[in-house]
Amino acid sequence: MESNELHFFVVSDSVGETARKVIQAVLAQFPDLKPVLHHHPFVRKQKDLDKVLIKAKEVNGLIVHTLVVDDLSQRTKDFCAEEGLHNYDILQDLTLDITALTGMNPTKRAGALHRLDDEYFNRISAIEFAVKYDDGKDPKGLLEADLVLLGISRTSKTPLSMFLANKNVKVANLPILPEANIPDELWEVNPKKIVGLTNDMEVLINFRRERMIAYGLSPDTAYSNSARIEDELEFAANLYEKLDCYVINVARRSIEETTEIIMRNVLGTKFDH
């Protein structure tokens, strides 16, 4: 009697999303099957591939792969032929047909669908950087950043940092308060890499009152007091003048609009929607 349990080894030199989706679509046709999925992404060396193949052999697994690098793909097929294992190269047949019909050769670039190249990993690095140096957590980040955002509370520092990180920009942001010490590192940063964010008084009052209400607190606090906000805006404006940095009023501007201004006028690059 055949077992209704089947081991699937999803092997890819990328994230393996393509193979995983194909398997899910096929498994929908076999509701009584008990699949055991073994996910092996970023397999780009033969020694790593061999470890997966040996595991698959131990459980008579079915190998589904999207290995675009020829030697890894062929190694998988040769091993399976020798050991009597089933394997399916999802991309090969269609790739060969396109080459036959057009004369064009595939790039053989791992992760091409997901753009898992330098740009992709730079984006991940930029996002990690933005998280690490958010809200002035470590002033050292100011010296390593591609861009430094300054601003009082509710000037969109963190959302802008994350949005810019997705454009491969490493951003550190620093909250500005009259009573807080300005880190020495800030004065070492090239002013052309600094953006001072500001906002309108009325907008800030409404934002801060709403924030207090969302926390279940009274909206009438020092945080939302107009005199306090005026002091903060004045302090920030004076600091920006001393730094001689680029200043943007984010009032009634979307994150995308502010990003476009920064990319064009500060970083000197084209904004890609």
User: Domain containing 30 — which CATH number?
Assistant: 3.40.50.2300
Give the phi and the psi of residue 150 in degrees, each rounded to 5: -115, 150
- Report pTM: 0.59
Give Rg (Cα) of the chain. Answer: 27
Q: What percent of the chain has pLDDT over 70?
A: 93
Q: Model confidence over 159-196: pLDDT tens digits?
A: 999 999 999 999 999 999 999 999 999 999 999 999 99
Please determine, for residue 1, whether its predicted confidence score (pLDDT) is greater than 50: no
Q: Which of 54, 72, 102 is the last residue of a domain?
A: 102
Look at the block and give the residue holding tokens 């607190």.
217
What does the block give as tokens for 13? Answer: 């030199």
Task: Note whether 43 and 77 are same-domain residues.
Answer: yes
175 forms bridges with which residues in the sheet?
Answer: 151
- Taking the C-alpha atoms of residue 126 and residue 237, their distance in angstroms, rounded to an integer, is 28
pLDDT over threshold 70, residue 149: yes
Mean model confidence pLDDT for the chain: 90
**Which of 72, 102, 132 marks a domain boundary?**
102
Least confident of 11-20, 200-209, 230-239: 11-20
Structural domain contains residue 15: yes
Question: Same domain, yes or no, for 219 and 124?
Answer: yes
Q: Distance between CA atoms of 186 and 160, rounded to whole angstroms?
A: 19
Predicted local confidence at residue 118, as pLDDT: 63
Instruction: For residues 197 and 248, state if they share a domain.
Output: yes
